Structure 1
Amino acid sequence: MRQVNMLEAKTALSELVAAALRGEEIVIARANKPAVRLVPVEPVAPVRRFGWATGKISVAEDFDAPLDAFSSYR
């Protein structure tokens, strides 16, 4: 655990952020008392909504019907 005071955190913020992203635990102190912990943000997984395209997609009745001899040349 690395503890830094508020003034050092102000002057070296980008370095402290990089250290936190590497996995180091950074604690910012005020008057030598721990005040906050600097941690990376966890990525949020997208929410999947089933059925969102219901009624928007249609398949032709002859979708899987055999093709005629000339349709493969188009």
Structure 2
Amino acid sequence: MHHLLHQTLLRSLTKPTPEELDFVIERIRAENPSVFHSDELTASTLGERVFINEPSSSVPMKAALFPRGPSNDQR
């Protein structure tokens, strides 16, 4: 989970430049590396994600609260 400060930083970026986004991501990575998938654990950690809406592509995940279907495909 992101710290409140990190959530606030991300929300403040309404129309970020790539440089601004990179800066904030690197700050969060330095201050809270556990919120990022590591190269060694990517396959296992990505498979533990739970989505609200099922992604439209086949991605590793544990579950989705709302499966894809005709009514959910309009995104």
Q: Structure 1-normalised TM-score?
A: 0.23
Q: Which has the larger radius of gyration?
A: 1
Higher helix share: 2
Higher strand share: 1
